[in-house]
Amino acid sequence: MRRINVAITGFGGIGRKVAELLLDRQPHYRARYQFDVRVVGVCGSSAGLIDEAGLDKARLGNRAAYTKGLTGSAFVESVPADVLFESSPTDFRTGGAALSYISAALQRRVHVIAISKGALALAYTSLSDVAARQKVALKLSGAAGSALPTIDLLQYNLAGCKISSVAAIVTGTTNVILSEMMDKECSFGEALSEAQHLGIAESDPSLDTDGWDTACKIAIVCNAAFGTAIKVQEMPRQGISGVTLEDVRRWRAGNVMPRLVGVIESVGATYDASVRLELCDETHPFFRVHGRNKAIRVSTDLMGDFVIVGGGSNPYGTAGAALKDFEHVLRDLYRPVE
């Protein structure tokens, strides 16, 4: 039976869920693909653990046994992986540690499943060029809306269509905050506290509330699906931190719902992207996209218009999206015995 070795960089909430689900699904991978999938290495910011024989949940949970300094290039250059899940913190200004993890892995002909957004938002084109040259996969569902189908919908289901526009609610935190404010007629600060209480806000909430998270995801989709190099910092971008109680009262009286929406529009042979605070009336498909829920609306030339609602923000949804990418990598590697 062929071995598939998995490594995970960034072993926080999402990295741990990915490992847990991979280990739970080992029987499925054996039965479906005849692959013996093992988690052979994980690392955090200061320590890591590698064992080519495979790590179980108990060893992964025992942080005291991690080797100090086994992180960064020391980790990624030595872990004997076929597939890397990258889930270290998002830094869209520099790419952060994720950029060196993804670059080093692709150079070593390791398939990459990216969950952090910074490196892809900054350098998708060059990273995907390396992946193509090295004949390995660079998957990104976890970084582009997670459980909400975005990139697969555009690249696979709508392949060949001319897409005139994409509009998407892709940041759960901002939708929770706006929904709270509208439901309870409360202040931005109170609604943000509720999102933090639910554990879905970024540790620096301005990444969500100033529209950066939506901008990163939209830039990744624009680059990957349309081949248009969009720079996150140059994208016209609105946030929600300036929304006041007076705004909320006015919108409630007018029966419109505020939604933070990432927009991609066809302009001639290329695409423009922006992040906007939109006011949706009752006839708009985003009017009822409430709380953690996300949504995408796509207009095509031949296949009509689509709206998908769902894929709400939670760690299992994100890990599930990354495991969906992994399943596709396994399908591509799988060669049934004649």
Residue 286: count of CB within 10 angstroms of its CB: 22
Q: Of residues 5, 103, 141, 146, which one binds ligand NAP by CB under 6 A? A: 146
Q: Which C-beta is closer to ligand NAP: that of 85 or that of 251?
A: 85
Is 13 near ligand NAP (CB under 6 A)? yes
> Which residues are identified as catalytic?
217
One-letter amino acid for residue 298 of the chain: V
Listed ranges 162-170, 238-246, 312-320, 328-336: which one lies at the site for ligand NAP (CB under 6 A) = 312-320
Q: Of residues 5, 22, 71, 311, which one binds ligand NAP by CB under 6 A? A: 71
Minimum distance of ligand NAP from residue 282's CB (angstroms): 30
Minimum distance of ligand NAP from residue 80's CB (angstroms): 18
**Which residues on neighbouring strands pair with residue 264, listed in sequence order?**
166, 273
- Count of residues touching ligand NAP (by CB under 6 A): 25
Give the N- to C-terminal CA distance of the chain in Å, as an integer: 15
Q: Of residues 285, 291, 310, 315, which one binds ligand NAP by CB under 6 A? A: 315
Going by C-beta distance under 8 Å and a sequence separation of 6 or more, which residues neighbour residue 296?
145, 148, 149, 150, 153, 166, 167, 168, 169, 170, 306, 307, 308
- The answer to whether 243 and 123 are in contact (CB under 8 A) is no
CA distance 211 to 277: 9
Chain centroid to Cα 270, Å, comes to 24
Map the footprint of ligand NAP across residues 88-127, applying CB under 6 A: 88-90, 97, 115-117
CA distance 174 to 46: 31
Crossing angle (nearest 10°) for helices 212-226 and 172-184: 130
Is 318 near ligand NAP (CB under 6 A)? yes
169 is known to lie in a ligand binding site: no
Q: Describe the strand order of the beta sheet including 111-114 as a list of residue ranges.
A: 67-68, 47-50, 35-43, 2-9, 83-86, 111-114, 138-139
Listed ranges 12-20, 27-35, 149-157, 243-251: which one lies at the site for ligand NAP (CB under 6 A) = 12-20
Q: Which C-beta is closer to ligand NAP: that of 115 or that of 295?
A: 115
Is 46 near ligand NAP (CB under 6 A)? yes
Is 85 near ligand NAP (CB under 6 A)? no
Is 291 near ligand NAP (CB under 6 A)? no
Residue 108: count of CB within 10 angstroms of its CB: 15
Q: Of residues 6, 7, 14, 295, which one binds ligand NAP by CB under 6 A? A: 14
Going by C-beta distance under 8 Å and a sequence separation of 6 or more, which residues neighbour residue 276?
236, 238, 260, 261, 263
Listed ranges 10-18, 127-135, 177-185, 232-240: which one lies at the site for ligand NAP (CB under 6 A) = 10-18
C-alpha dist (Å) from residue 248 to 143, 182, 255, 288: 31, 6, 10, 16
Q: Which residue is nearest to ligand NAP (CB)?
A: 12
Q: Which residues are annotated as a binding site for NADPH?
A: 117
Q: Which residues are annotated as a binding site for NADP(+)?
A: 10-15
Q: Which residues are annotated as a binding site for L-homoserine?
A: 202
Binding site for ligand NAP (CB under 6 A): 9-15, 43-46, 71, 87-90, 97, 115-117, 142, 146, 313, 315, 318
